[in-house]
Amino acid sequence: MKNKNPKLSIAIVLKGYPRLSETFIAQELKELEKHQFELLIFSLRKPTDTTIHPIHKEIQANVNYLPEYIHSEPIRVIRAIWKLRRSGHIGNTIATWLKDLRRDFTRNRIRRLAQAFVMAAELPVYTERIYAHFMHTPGSVARYTSLLLLKPWGFSAHAKDIWTIPTWEKIEKLNSARFAVTCTQANLVHLNNLSEKSNVKRVYHGLDFARFPDPGLQNSDKSGNQSNPVTILSVGRAVSKKGYPILLRALAGLSSELHWKLIHIGGGKDSGVLQKLSRDLGIDNRISWQGAQPQELVLQAYRRSDIFVLASVIDPNGDRDGLPNVLMEAQSQRLCCIATSVSGIPELIRHDETGLLVESGSPEQLTICLDKAIRNPRIRNSLANAGFEHVRRNFSQDNEISTLISLLERM
């Protein structure tokens, strides 16, 4: 469905859409549509989640699923190349791609060029801009499409897409794009140090507080006794960078006199491994593994919990969190948050001010903070309410979206 009087028509390149784990993207798309941008989504793969968030139903943009593999839709790829055969820009695009291919001789690199041809062939003529979420594969497709059509492009960089691609590729994309935005100050410094144009801006994901209304002052009186166990919540994919083995070992290190239960929400390839670890540690009877859930159920879980914890670590391959939206969401619901000092998290969680912050990879430190939060409802409530004020004051989507809108308009 088209906006009646759009400011601009923008092609949005995403790795997969819709995704339960990327609510920040859905929030941004909805906000751009609210500001009269006409969006057309190009997704590199079809969704694998079996449910969607309510906000996905509100987004009007049409979705074009590009061929995930060349062999799956060869006729579509050939038709796209044939349509663009007389374009004067194919030579420069291929030369750029060959330069990339020599440094990254992979099927993935070949696949991205094919997807770019399809996107370029199927992009409406009136679409003026290209904007990719994530610097890695969506950024490659957006960049090659930009070269094929001579349309400007920009991108948003977050976490894995920054820290797991080689420096040469980051430099090429930063210097090719009209602008880049990223969601933490730590990312901003890293990327601007690589960019010849210093064209990177910090735009926090921010929260739409209409979707996360104030639940009222936190006044939990639970102190971990047998009749009143404390509920600990963690929302995140079961993958290495989320640090769940650290969290489980920290919980196992708590005194046996403390009574608690952990609720985990999130899918992920390591779910089975983590459940086995909880059994080996003897704490599986205190844990509820609930899998991926739509946002309305996640919101209910925030409101029923006493503590939120995320034990993020830096993965051996360099992958790490940026500034997880779930921490902002938890703070918006006046939950005392415990997290690790990875990447941009200290920009949100200030130790003993807006939450509790521990060294990454240390189950011993995490045990100490968990013990403190479980035993002391007064401290827990104070940090919860301070975190709420901090996130409301500094991480509103209304404040952050204006920067992105300006960049898109001036691209």
Q: What type of residue is 211?
A: R
Asked whether 107 and 114 are in contact (CB, 8 A), the reply is no
pLDDT for the residue numbered 236: 96
The answer to whether 10 touches 40, Cβ cutoff 8 Å, is yes
Are residue 237 and residue 148 in the same domain, yes or no? Answer: no
The secondary structure of 307-340 as a DSSP string is EEEE-----TTS---SS-HHHHHHHHTT-EEEEE
Same domain for 177 and 250, yes or no, is no
3-state secondary structure of 39: strand
- Residue 140 resides in a domain: yes
Longest dimension (CA), the chain: 75
Q: Is 45 helix (H, G, I), strand (E, B) or coil?
A: coil
| 219 falls within a domain | no
The total domain count for the chain is: 2
Please determine, for residue 356, whether its predicted confidence score (pLDDT) is greater than 80. Answer: yes
Instruction: Compute the Cα dihedral for 357, 362, 366, 369 and give only its sign.
Output: negative
Average pLDDT (378-389) is 96
Check whether residue 401 and residue 388 sit in a common domain: no
Task: List, edge to edge, every strand of the sheet that includes 9-14.
Answer: 62-65, 38-43, 9-14, 129-133, 153-157, 179-182, 200-202
DSSP assignment, residue 143? Answer: H
Q: What per-residue confidence (pLDDT) applies to 404?
A: 94
pLDDT band, very low/low/confident/very high, at 1 (cuts 50, 70, 90): very low
Concatenated DSSP letters of 183-217: SSHHHHHHHHTT-SS--EEE----B-TTTS-----
Together in a domain, 267 and 200? no
Q: With respect to residue 215, please indicate whether it lies within any of the assigned structural domains.
A: no
Query: Average model confidence (pLDDT) for the chain?
Result: 94
User: Is 357:194 a contact under the CB 8 Å cutoff?
Assistant: no
- Are 331 and 401 part of one and the same domain? no
Within this chain, do residues 241 and 389 fall inside the same structural domain, yes or no?
yes
Distance from CA of residue 365 to its chain's centroid?
26
d(CA 403, CA 287): 41
The answer as to whether 26 is a domain residue is yes
**Angle at which helices 167-176 and 137-149 cross, to 10°:** 40
Does residue 21 carry a pLDDT above 90? no
Report yes or no on 220 lying in a domain.
Answer: no
DSSP letter at 70 equals G
Q: Running DSSP on this structure, what letter comes out for residue 229? A: P
Q: Are residues 93 and 202 in the same domain?
A: yes
- In terms of domains, do 350 and 307 share one? yes
Q: What is the CA radius of gyration of the chain?
A: 22
- Residues 6 or more apart whose CB falls under 8 angstroms from that of 5 comprise 36
Instruction: For 89-135, write each residue's pLDDT tens digit.
Output: 999 999 999 999 999 999 999 999 999 999 999 999 999 999 999 99
How does strand 200-202 pair with strand 179-182?
parallel
Return d(Cα 21, Cα 28) in angstroms, integer: 14
In a domain, 224, yes or no: no
Domain carrying residue 306:
230-394
pTM: 0.85
Q: What are phi and psi of 94, to 5 degrees?
A: -65, -40
Q: Say yes or no: 167 and 111 in one domain.
A: yes
CATH code assigned at 287: 3.40.50.2000
- Write the DSSP assignment of 76-104 as a string of letters: HHHHHHHHTTT-TTHHHHHHHHHHHHHHS
Q: Give 228's pLDDT tier (boundaries 50, 70, 90).
A: confident
Q: Is residue 211 part of a domain?
A: no
25 and 40 inside one domain: yes
Q: What is the mean pLDDT of residues 235-261?
A: 97
Q: Are both 241 and 163 inside the same structural domain?
A: no
**What value, to the nearest 5°, has the Cα angle with vertex 2 and ends 157 and 177?**
25
Q: Is residue 2 part of a domain?
A: no
Q: Catalogue the long-range contacts made by 73-78 (C-beta closer than 8 Å, 24 or more residues apart).
A: 76/118, 77/114, 77/117, 77/118
Do 55 and 188 share a domain, yes or no? yes
Residue the block writes with tokens 């609930």: 290
